[in-house]
Every structure is written in C-alpha cells, then in structure tokens.
Structure 1
Amino acid sequence: MRPPIASLVVLLLVVAALTMIGLDGIHAERVPQAVLDGEQQIAADTALSMRTTIDVEASTVRRTADAYPATSTSTPATALKALTSARKTVLGSALLDPHTGKLLAAGGKTVPLAGLDIARTASGHGAIPPRLVTSSGARQLVYFAKVTLPAQQEDANQDQNQVQSQTERQWLLVVSEALPAPTAYGAGRTADMLDASGTALATTAHGKASPAAADSGLPSAATRAAKGSGRDTDASGSLLGAATGSRRTVAGWAQVASATGPGDTDDLGLVVLTSHAVPATTADADYSGFALKAAGALAVLALLLGLALHFSVQRPLLRLYLSAGRLARGATEDGPIAWEELSRPVPVHGFGELARIGRALESLRRQLLGESGPQEFPHRRGPGYRALAVVGVVVVACWAVPMIFLLNRADTANAVPAPVLAVQQTRTEIATNRIRQSLDQSYTDLSDAAASLPGRSRAAQTEVLRHALDDHKQYRSLYLLDRSGGITLRVGDTPLRTLVHVPGGGGITTVNTSGRIPAIAAYAQVRAVKGKTSAAGVVLFGEIDVKALNSILPRPKLGSVWVTDSDDKVLAASVGYRAFQSLPESGLARLARATQGAPGTAGTATSRVLRTSSGPSVDAAAPLAQSGPTARLGWHVVTAEPAAALQIPAVQAEQRTMLAGILGLTLSAGCLGWLHVVVIRPLRAVALLVERLAGGDRRTVLHPVNHDEVGSVTRSLELMRQALAERDRAARSGHVGEPSRSLRENTLQR
C-alpha cells in the first residue's frame, strides 16, 4: 500500500523539478543557436560538393588513362594529345617517366612540378591523390594517373624476366587544373576556399555580400579549428563574427576531407568558410516565471493528493488490518483474552470498500459474541476507492492537459526566425544541386559509352557496356533499344521499365509509372556510321539504381528529403517510402507546386513553416534543374525538418511543456493504476467476501492472494470463518449457545 502512494508523490515532485529546470533553462540569444547550426551545415554541404567535384575529376583522369588503348608504337606526344584533347578544363599536361621524372611530352601551360618528387609520388601501388601547387601566384590542382604501355618486343630471345619487366612499363600523366571555386548559396552569403594557413584561395559571393575576409579573424579562426579537429574527418563548426549595427556575421567552416577514410582530398588541407550577416534577435524569451508557477502547482497537487490518499486509504486500511487481527485472535482463543479482543467494537473508517469491510467486521464480532445472527447487506453501494483513483487522475489531468495542448504553444508563423527558414531553403538548394550533378554525371557517362558503340560488333558492344557498368556503380542495368522499342542488348540486372518508347535526343527520364522501385534512367542516341550497317540499337538506356540516388539525399539536420516528379509523386527519398506515393503532408505538395514559375522558366526555391500533427515543421522546396538533361522534367526536391529538432526557444518551450504534461499524466496514471491493482481491486474482492461471510456464508474458503495488508485481513477473515463454522456445527449437534455462555461467565468473573 505504501509504495504506490509514496511513488506517486515522489515522481510528481520530480516532474515538477524537471519542469522548473527545463523551462527555466530556455533563453533567447542575440543569434539563435539554430542559425549557427544552420550555417555550419551550409559550410559542410558546400565542402561536400567541393570534395565530390575534386573526387570526380581525379577519377575521370584515372579512368581516361586506364581506358587509353596504348600500343607498342604509341609515342608520348600522341598519347598525351589523345588523353587531354577532349578535356576543356585542363590548363596544362605532361607525360613523365615515373622512375626518373624525365619529361616525355607536354601540352598547354607549363605544369608546376617544382617541389614534387616524381619518383616517390609514383612509387605507390594505389591511386595517387591530387596535389595543391602554386603557379604564377595562383593555386592549382595537379592530378596524376598511370598510363600502362604494352611490352616492346625488341629481341625475340629475351628471357621471361625481361618480358615481364617490359610488360609493366608505365608513363605518369600529370594534369593541372584551376582550383574549383565554392558556390555561394543564399542571398548575401559569401563562400571562401581557404588553405591550411588561412589564406583565401577563391571567394564567391551571392548577391550583395561582403567577403568573409573583411572580418579578418574568421579565416584564421576557421583554419585553427579545422587543424584541432583532425585531418581525416569531415569536421565542421560555426563562428560568430563582428557586429555591424543590428546585424551580426555568422560563419560556418568545414574541412574538404573524406568522411569515410582516406580520400583524394585529405592531404590538400582545404577548408570551406561561409559567412552571412543576419539580424540580431531582440525578442525576450523568459520562461522562468511560467516554470515556477507550473512546477509549484504540480508540487501542491502532489502533496495534496498524497495526503488525501494517506488519510482516506492508508490509515483506514491499517486500522482495519489491526481490527481484523484482533477479531481473529478473539475467535481462536478462549478465556479472558478472547473476551477482551471481542468486546471492543470495530470502528468504521473511510468510505467505500473499507467502510463496507468495517461494518461487516462489526457484524462478525457480534456474531462471535452470540449477540446477533447473520446480517444481509444492501446490494446498492456508493462510490468506492476506484472512483478515488479516477478522481486523482482527473486532478493531475487538470494540470497536464493544458500543458500538453494549450500552454506555451509556438506560433507557427512567428516561432521560427527568418534566418532559420532561409537556412532550410539554402540547404535545399544545395541538395538540389548535388542531385542534379549526380544525374548530369550519369548522363555524361552514358553519352561517353554511347559514343563508343557505333561501328563495333555485338561482342565488342557488350564488352563496352560491361566496362561502363563496372566503372559506374550508379547503373543497375544498361541496354540498347531498337527502333521499335525492343531490347537488343543488355548487361546488368533485369530492366524495370514498363514504358516502351524510343525517345529522341538524350537526357534523364522515368521508364515506369508503377511498381516497388522507380526506374530513373539516362538515355543517349547511338549515331549511325556511314557506309556500315546501322547499329543493332539506336538508343542506349542506363537505369540508375535508386539506392545510389537515395544515398546522397540524407544530410545532418536537413530532415526528410524527397525527390518528386511533376505530379508530386515520390521518386527517391532519404527515408523509407513507397514508389510513386504522395508526399506525407498536403502542405508539402502545395509548397512544391509553389516553386513552379511562369511557362518556360525553371521556377525558384521557396520555404515555409507548416503545422503538422507532430508540431511545426520547417519545410522548403526547389526545382531540380534549371538547365541540362533534367531541365524539362519538372521534378522537385522537397525537405522537411521538424522545428523541435532545431534549438528555437519558442519551439523548445512548447516541446518541454508538452513533455512535462505527458510525464505528469503518465506517471500519475501509472502509480494510481498500481494502487488500483495491489490495493483497490483486492479490497473490492475482500469487501464482497466479508459481506457474504457476515451474511451467513460459511462454506467459501478465503484464500489470501497477496502478502500485504489486504492479505492479512483475508487470513484473519478465514480464521473467523472457521470459528463461526465450528460454532454452527456445535449448534447443530445440540450444544447451542455454549460459546455465548462461556463468554458470559468470563464477563461475570471480571
């Protein structure tokens, strides 16, 4: 009996303390933490884009070198021209002897090789990461790749070791390109690329923005923080810059380094720094007064409820327990002790079940004394202790329900600061650009494969497609269509397509409208060769594995991300989804449609705070493409981040207020339910049994179920039942009134 009541009081007091601590700790800052976190994530997203750009370029240089069809008669000059002539981003190139560093051929501007140990650089067996070098005062990236040459058979009698040595002969391809400049997203934002010393290598501003270098402390602070975080991680952080009037500069930094172990950008020491001037918050958010009132009200309720249960349940039950034990001793003993125990009336305490048990015990006492016979009790009874438990829950609910549904509710329109909303839109644009680059690269890779198919035999075409499938993991299937739409050649998994069409040109499209997996595909035309039989297929399709697309969508603190088609049906998502399903909220679909511009325009990104079933949500949408192979599809990228995940004072207050109400209501219901199970329900059963016993039922054996106060009362009742049953048997055998005479004699003696 005591543990449920004590637990109820203690737990409610704990909830009151947590309410006080949680709400009193919410304070509005001049620059909300959510804005700082958002700028940090923008820098991290920008660094990821930079890392992806450098990784793709390094992979392209290596793949071009691996695919070069070198022969024993190839010369360095012809090989260099073939390797670099199609690449417009190349500033300078060179072929070197990897063992001696001797220059074999050069093209374009002079490649800055000063300070590079060519022999040591080329001595490893793995891929050679790019280097950051200086040329004419400008920083450039130098990419490396090994070109393997076949053996030159100069002597047919040379031994096997010499043949093996000649087979492994290589050249080292060195390509210099300009350092890619970071893209600045969001009006008024600046993006800087910093080297390890904090020097700005490239700066980009979006709209009217002052470079971050104007705040001279930010670049050095960013590079110091990056050095302290380690070189092989994608560490990031945020900084506060100088204040100008009512605006404060907020900066984010992130390393351009691999997030999953050694990568091409780890040794470059590059850091992305983004900065943006935001208006300082002037609103005062002080919840200490509310916290004190709410916690005090709950503490008072807890103490009053505990006192009510103590005086109405605990003390009456303890007295009843003592009275039942006294009557049991009087029923089982003889002489003066029995009379002393049975002579005192049973006091009736409390109400409900305890009052019923007390009245029935008094009737049993008189029956044991022989003063009365069995007594019938009315079937209609008043409210019992179950009603008391319900009233206790209702009393706590009067405090909890307003906390959950009414108090400190965040205003959907004004709870989220404008800079936080702008951050969500900016990050959505960055995600859109990342997805667009991935799809554009898939189309470019497929176009390269399609360009190598004309004039080849079927076996050669199959080999080309197999190499393309192995080199580009984003494809799940590559296949050629003839003019009727039939598949003439396929490598990889079974195609998912359900639409049979032969489109013109090239681009990105979907080739199914139903099923478990959306089939997004890149396609390119296979040109015919003059004077030769037309190719077996006229269009090359590459179905993109939707898992590869889904893997690039999740980003920290961006929330859920969806790629939708022109009908707002989901094609890819960062969370679990069903193909071609609608967006989870109708407001998200309206937001996606709001990005559509006038006919012939690409549309613009937009953002909004929407009220959902789980609270306010910071949402944004952006058109997928403004140009390129995906421009005419009408696809969108939609993001939704619960405002509860952002450190916004109004939303934090709503969340913690609701949590306090839920905790208070749940714990009180649990403790009172516990009291009902271990005390109230057994009391109801005992009250029914003792009334039957007092009414003359001597056959029902009373078995104690619990080892507590109620169980002790049950055991005492069983002893009284046995005594009354023995007296009834004695009465039937002709010794009527013997127990009563014995008690009277004891009375006279006293």
Structure 2
Amino acid sequence: MSLLGGIRPPIAVLSVLLLTLAGITALTLGKPDNVLVSKAVLTSQQYVAEDGAIALRASLDESVGDLTGTATLFSDGQPVSADTVLDKVGDVYQKWRGTAVIEIKSGNLLAARGENVPLTAIDRSKLAATDGLAPRMVRLENGQTRLVILALLSWKGQPQQLLVASSSLTFPGVSLAGGRAIGVVDSAGRVLSSHGALDGKRARAQLASFAGVAAKKAQQNPLTAKKPGEGGYTGVSGHLTGDATGNVRTIGGYASLAAPVAGESTVASGLGLTVVTQVDVTEHASQLTRPAFGLAAAGALLLIGALTVMVLLGTVQRPLIRLFLESRRLTRGDLARPVTMPRAGEAARVGAALERLRLQLRGAPADTEGPVVRRGLGGRALLAICAVLLLVWSVPLMLVLNRADSSVRVPDQIVRDQKARTATLSDRVRRALNEGHADLSAVAALIGDRTSADDMRTVLARTLEDHPRYQSLYVLGADGKILAQAGATPHHTAGKGPSDKTLEVRDGGKKPVVTATAEAPGRHGAAVVGEFHIEYLNALLGRQGMGEVRVLDGNGRVIGGDSGYRAFQKAPSYVTPLLAKKQAYATVQRGSTVRVAAVAPFAGGGEAKSLRWTVVSWQPASGLAIPEYSLQNRTVLAGLLGLTAAAACLGWLHIVVVRPLRELARQAEALADGDRKTVLYPRHHDEVGAVTRSLELIRQQLQDQRRRDGGTRTPAGVGRN
C-alpha cells in the first residue's frame, strides 16, 4: 500500500492533529495571562526610540548638508570676508551653537559667532585626507558632547579657509511629555546627551543601565537582529525593561541611527550613536483566562475528535478493508461462501456486485439477481457529518468565544505615546518645511549677486542635487517671467509674479503642490521659488505603530499621508472632533471599532507655522498587542487550526478514497451486469486500487470461462439498481 494513499493515513493524521491541537488549546487558552506591562506598551517604547533616532539622524545630516552646501555656494561666487560668511549663515540658519572661520595654512581664527568652537580637535595637517573633512564628535571639559562639522571655503588666488560649526546632540521636536527621558549613547555605552525627566538619582542610574545594554545590542547586524521577513526600521531597535518601585516599573526603548534606506549609510548613521528612551509606567495585573476554559475546550475537542474518528473507522475504513479481503478471496477461487457485505453506501454497492460476480464465476448467468442493497449514507454524506462535528468545535472559537468588545482596556501609556509621537511627527514636518525655506533663502542671498542666467541655473541645479526634497527650482521675476529653472516643469501661472506668502499650497491637479518663496535681494522683486516633492513630505509620515497618518490644512483637507489617500479630501468624521481641540490631543474612540486617535497642530516658529497644518493619526486597538485582543487572536487561531485540520484531512479522504470508491462502485456494477470489455485500471496503490485489480482479475476469469463454455454470449441483464 502507498504510504500517502489509502484509508489509514488521513485518519491517522487527523487523529494526531486533533490530539496536538487539544494540547495547544489547553496550554494557550488555559494559561492564566497575568500581564503586568502589555507587549503593546513595550513595543511602543521601541517606536518612540525609533522616532528619536530618525529625528536626530535627519537633524545631523541636515546640518552637515546645509553647512557644506552653503560653503560650496560661497566658493562658487566672489570672495567675501569671513564675517560676511558667518553673518549670512547665522541669518539663514539658527541651528548651530557656534561657528567659526579659520585660515587652514596659518590656523588663524578669522571670525567666530556663538559659543567657542573646539578648534583644538581639528588637525589641519590631515584635512587633505579622504576623510579629513568628516564630522567628528568632541567631548568638552564640562562633559557635554559637540558634533563638529567642517566645510571648505576656497577662492582662486586666496588662501583656503575652513568653515567650522558645532552642534549639540539634541532631538528636535521629540515630545518628552509624560515623564519621558531620552539620551544619546555612543558605541561604548556612554551617555553623551540626555533630556527629559532625569531629576532623580534612580532615573539617571536606570538610563545609564539602559545605555550599556542598548550599546551592545546596537552592534548587531540590522539584518540578523530582526526576525526573518520583518521589515520596519532599517537599524537595530528594541524595547527594554528596567527596575520596579512598588507598582511602577521603568521601561524603555533603543534604536541605532540608521540611513532611511537599508544598506546605505549617511554621515550621522556612521557615527555609531544609539538613542535610548525611558518612562515609568504603572503595572496592572489582570487575569483574563482561567485554566478551566482551556481544559474544557481541549476536552470537548478530544470527545468530538474521538467521535469523528470512530465514525470514519466504522463506516469508511472497516467496510473498505473488508471489501479488499473479500475481493482477494474471490480471485483466489474461494467461491463457496457468500461475500460479506457492508451495510450501506458505495461499499455496499461494491459488495453486492462482488456477490453477483461470485455467483457468475460459479456458472450463474449475468442477469442473476443479487442481494438487495439497503439505502444509506454514502461516503460524501459521512464526510459531511464529520465536518459538521469538527465545525461545532471550531466555529464558536472563531466567532463567539473570548471576543474583545468595545469596553476593552487600552493602556494609558499607549494613548500618551500616540499623542507624543504625533506631536513629534508634526514638528518633524514643520521643521522640514522651515529647512526647505531656509535653503532657498541661502540660495536667494547668492542669486542676488549674480546677473547671468547660466550662473543662476548652475546654482539651482546644484541645490536641486544636494536637496532632493524639491521637484523644481526656479527664479521668478517680478513680471512673472521665469529667469532660470532646474528640475521638473514648474506649476506656475504665466505672468504671475512671486507670491507674498513664503509657504503655500497650490492645486496641482492630482496632487497638491507645496511651494516656498524666498526673495532675492537686489534683483528688483525677483524671488527663488521651490516646489516640494509631495512624496518627500509623505515619506516623513511613515512610522511603525502609528496606524494611518494624515496631514491636514487649515480647512481640514488632506494634503499628504503615509498611505493611499485623495488630495484635498475631507478628513474622516471620527477625526473631526479632535481638530476642535487646537492642540496636541489623543483619545480612545469606542464604538463598532475601538481606535486610538491623536492630533497635533503645527507648534513653534518658522515660516511653516503660517500654513496652520495639523498632523492626525489613528489606529484600531485590535492591531495592538493588548492582552484582550491577544487572547481573542489565540482563540480564533485555535478555531482556524481546527478548521484547517478538518478541511485538510477530510478533503484528503474525499480525494483518495471516497471519489475513487464511487467510481469503483460504478465499474463493479457494470462488470456484474455483463460488461466484459472494459479493462479496469487502478488509480492508486491503495485499498481501492487493490479491489480494482481484483475486479480486473475476475473479469479475465469470466472471459476465460465464456471461452471454455464454447463462446456462449453471456446475456446482459439489467442487474440490481
């Protein structure tokens, strides 16, 4: 017999699967789920750390790009004094704690602004090396750490100069409300910078402990640190659990600085920094299940499974094996005793045909009446009964039991984190727009001194290459004529001069066009205009664990989003009440769907504030690892496993046994009715195939018998119905 075919393997596999599922059910649904800090809260801290790492990496890379880009633009123009360079840099960008210009050959300090830049950390003799101008971290005497950025100023016929800026390791826009603390850690586990709730000795000690653990974990390969197939953050990230005081436990998250695209590298991601966050949460013990439930479900499955297997053994397996033995007896010539017939179904039809064939082998004519077959349930009906029995157990688990309703408890920390992350994202978008306008202001300051359209076009092309946030850059004259242009075709109305709004949104047809305008001094009302890629803004919104994210304008229309949306459509109705708060706010909305929603209008200064944009986010609570939903998911999974086991094994039985048996019954009855010409071929090497081979041997014996009797044609009778 075939190892995979026949009647025995499907029934045996079904028995093993049901026993295994019963054990899994008893262990997973009967195990008390005493959750102190839910997995959703822990995972949320990982996401907060990732937000901080993204903000810090973007800020550092932006600072490096702005300084080097500004130095390049100055170097392409006419020579200017060091004070002029620093004044223009300070007017456009207010991000560096200190700036300075030194002459490389002599080391003389030509100009300085802000706090003292740690110039002693710069080895001027190595500036010509490949990485001589690479940013570096310097630890000051007071224990603080600065990132020192270098850029070359070079004019023909003049000594080379070095533009130096120092920046602190801060987290622009990261919300630290709710007692959260955040820190930057180097590869050795030292805390380089920290902010937030670190007043107590315990908090500082816990952050230092988290820093050591995070630094070790961050040294892993990002590809191997994750589960296979797991996407999300491109760096190494995770959550941490600290000490507890009473019912308050400190938890945290960590994330290494990583490039936006996996496998690539940026200046900031190459510094070996890791972001660590921590917050205190109140532990809640809740017993969601009792062992009796899992044991009862497992016991019910064992009873139903045993009944199902007994039905299959008694009505399918044993009759088929009996037919196999009886057919073998007839082929051996044992014709003395009648065929033992099954009670009903296809097996009974085959048994009746075998009895008629036994009589024909003993010389009876083909139209001899055989035994009467009692009508009963066929093989398909028996499989349907078994399926119903298993569905009685599976369906309640999938659809009824352990349902998490609208009263499910969503941890307060989840709501606070949704609010904080939305506020962080809102500030990230606002700062990106402000940075974009600042870049245009720097370009406009240089464009003002240029009269050649080719020179202006060169500056615009270089800016477009250095800042992929723009899809188009152009210089627009006061009369509405484009004087120079780089990138895609501008969305500009002919004859219309520069807008008096520094940032605005235009209707670009299928998608909105966000434009920034910076007046070029000395060009009689001309301005530099930049059109942002809307995809650039949308890319800022993509965050794990925040659900759906949208950017709305002052009228509540959608400008951008992290997933599919229609431009300028109204925000969902369940977000509208939150917009009336006019401040960062989060809540749990209950109804047919329980969701966590948050809003965060633009806050802070800059040109982007005039847009009056708001970032909103929402996600269904069912997608969070909350204990109630986890129990529901496990219960549904148990039901699905039961349904899968039933479908697989009963379908297997139908394909390899029931369907071939129905065909065998038809062939056996035709042979008993006198069909001696049709050759019977077994489809499978199993019990049904063995009976088919026996019928073929009987057919050959009947043909030989007819030839011995002188070729007398056996009259064909109607036979049994």
| TM-score, normalisation: structure 2 | 0.83
- Is the contact between residue 554 and residue 574 of structure 1 (CA under 8 Å) also seen in structure 2? yes
Does 2:253 correspond to 1:252?
yes
Is 1:391 the counterpart of 2:391? The answer is no
User: Does structure 1 residue 283 correspond to structure 2 residue 270?
Assistant: no
User: 1:100/1:527 Cα in 2 relative to 1: closer, same or farther (>3 Å)?
Assistant: closer
CA distance in 1, matches of 2:675, 2:568: 68
SS of equivalent residue, structure 1 residue 48? helix
Larger radius of gyration: 1
User: Please, which of 188, 203, 211 is the counterpart of residue 195 of structure 2?
Assistant: 203
Report 1:67-466 matches (<5 A).
Answer: 67-69=73-75, 76=82, 80-81=86-87, 83-84=89-90, 87-99=93-105, 101-114=107-120, 116-120=122-126, 123-125=129-131, 127-134=133-140, 140-151=146-157, 169-177=159-167, 180=170, 183=173, 185=175, 187-193=177-183, 201-204=193-196, 211=199, 213-230=201-218, 235-241=236-242, 243-255=244-256, 263-265=266-268, 272-330=275-333, 341-370=334-363, 373-375=367-369, 381-453=375-447, 456-466=451-461
Tell me the distance in 2 between the aligned counterparts of 1:271 and 1:130.
16
1:10-49 alignment to 2 at 5 Å? 10-24=16-30, 27-49=33-55
Judging changes above 3 Å, is the alpha-carbon distance between structure 1 residues 606 and 693 closer, same or farther for their aligned structure 2 residues?
same
1:345 counterpart SS class? coil
- Are the structure 2 counterparts of residues 178 and 416 from structure 1 closer, same or farther at C-alpha, using a change threshold of 3 Å? closer
More divergent stretch after superposition (481-490 vs 272-281): 481-490
Matches within 5 A, 1:500-515: 503-514=499-510
Question: Which amino acid in structure 2 is aligned with residue 397 of structure 1?
Answer: L
Work out the CA distance in 2 between the residues paired with 1:659 and 1:497: 56
Q: Which amino acid aligns with 1:580?
A: A
1:580 aligns with 2:567: yes
Matches within 5 A, 1:491-570: 491-495=486-490, 503-514=499-510, 518-524=511-517, 526=519, 529=522, 535=526, 540-563=528-551
The answer as to whether partners of 2:169 and 2:184 remain within 8 angstroms in 1 is: no
How far apart in 2 are the matches of 1:89 and 1:626? 14
Distance 1:632 1:644 in 2: 37
CA distance in structure 1 between the aligned counterparts of 2:490 and 2:398, rounded to whole angstroms: 51
Scaled by the length of structure 1, what TM-score is found?
0.80
CA distance in 2, matches of 1:220, 1:16: 46
Aligned to 2:231: none
Secondary structure (helix, strand or coil) at the match of 2:340 reads coil
Would the aligned equivalents of 1:39 and 1:238 in 2 still touch at CA under 8 Å? yes
How far 1:317 sits from its partner (Å)?
A: 0.7
Distance 1:238 1:706, change over 3 A: closer
User: Structure 2: 5+ residue runs without aligned partners?
Assistant: 1-6, 223-234, 716-721
Pair 1:650 & 2:628 matched: yes
Q: CA deviation at 1:273?
A: 4.2
My pick for the range that moved more, 317-326 or 82-91, is: 82-91
Distance 1:634 1:250 in 2: 35
How big is the shift at 1:347?
1.1
Q: Is the Cα–Cα contact under 8 Å of residues 339 and 355 in structure 2 kept in the other structure?
A: yes
**Residue matched to 2:579:** 596
Residue in structure 2 matching 1:683, options 653, 657, 661: 661
Partners of 2:56 and 2:713 in 1: CA distance:
107
Verify the 8 A CA contact 1:506 1:525 in the aligned structure 2: yes
CA contact under 8 A between 2:473 and 2:529: conserved in structure 1? yes
Superimposed CA distance per residue, residues 225-277 of structure 1 (whole angstroms, 9 cap, x where no aligned partner): 23323569854444445545543333334455767666544687765443333
Which fold has the larger relative contact order, with Cα–Cα distance below 8 Å and residues 6 or more apart in sequence?
2
* Residue identity in the other structure for 2:682: P
Matched-pair contact (CA < 8 Å) for 1:70–1:79: no
> Where does residue 585 of structure 2 map in the other structure?
605
Listed one character per residue, the Cα deviations across residues 418-440 of structure 1 (whole Å, up to 9, x for unaligned) are 22233233222222322232233
2-side partners of 1:76 and 1:488: how far apart? 30
User: What amino acid sits opposite 1:5 in the alignment?
Assistant: I
The AA in structure 1 aligned to 2:440 is L
User: Retained in 2: the 8 A contact 1:443–1:522?
Assistant: no
SS of aligned partner of 1:595: helix
Q: Please give the alpha-carbon distance, in whole angstroms, between the structure 1 residues aligned to 2:219 and 2:322.
A: 74
Do 2:70 and 2:442's aligned partners in 1 also have CA atoms closer than 8 Å? no
1:705 aligns with 2:683: yes
Q: Deviation digits for residues 438-457 of structure 1, max 9, x if unmatched?
A: 23322332344345445734
Q: Secondary structure at the match of 1:146?
A: strand
Distance 1:482 1:97 in 2: 38
CA shift digits 1:4-46 (9 cap, x unpaired): 1112112222222333344456733322232222123213312
Aligned to 1:165: none
CA contact (8 A) 2:133 2:151 kept: yes
Shift of 1:314: 1.2
Asked if the contact 1:183–1:191 (Cα under 8 Å) also holds between the matched residues in 2, the reply is: no
Match of 2:57 in 1: 51
User: What SS class does the counterpart of residue 589 from structure 1 fall into?
Assistant: coil
Query: Which stretch has the larger CA shift, 85-94 or 347-356?
Result: 85-94
> After the TM superposition, which of the residue ranges 460-469 and 236-245 deviates more from structure 2?
236-245
| 1:470 equivalent in alignment to 2:473 | no
Give the number of equivalent residue pairs: 689
**Comparing 62-71 and 478-487, the one that deviates more:** 478-487
Is the 1:112–1:133 Cα contact (8 Å) retained in structure 2? no
Corresponding residue of 1:692? 670
Aligned to 1:741: none
3-state SS in 2 of match to 1:343? coil
Q: Distance in 2 between matches of 1:414 and 1:465?
A: 55
Q: Percent identity of the aligned residues?
A: 34
Task: Specify the SS of the correspondent of 2:377.
Answer: coil
Q: Secondary structure at the match of 1:275?
A: strand
Partner-residue secondary structure (3-state), 2:119: coil
The answer to which of 656-665 and 447-456 deviates more is 447-456
Shift of 1:385: 0.9
Structure 1 gap segments, 5+ residues each: 153-168, 331-340, 738-750
In 1, distance between residues paired with 2:496 and 2:284?
57
Q: Given the superposition, is the C-alpha separation of residues 604 and 144 from structure 1 closer, same or farther in structure 2, using an over 3 Å criterion?
A: same
Tell me if structure 2 keeps the 8 A contact 1:143–1:176: yes
Residues 621 and 699 (structure 1 numbering): CA distance in 2 closer, same or farther, change over 3 Å? farther
Shift of 1:288: 3.6
What is the letter of the counterpart of residue 251 of structure 2?
Answer: V
The answer on whether the counterparts of 2:45 and 2:239 sit within 8 Å (CA) in structure 1 is: yes
- Equivalent position SS for 1:172: strand
C-alpha contact (below 8 Å) 1:562/1:571 kept by paired residues: yes
| 8 Å CA contact retained: 1:212, 1:274 | no
Q: What is the RMSD computed on CA atoms of the aligned residues?
A: 4.0
Structure 1 residue 327: deviation in Å? 2.0
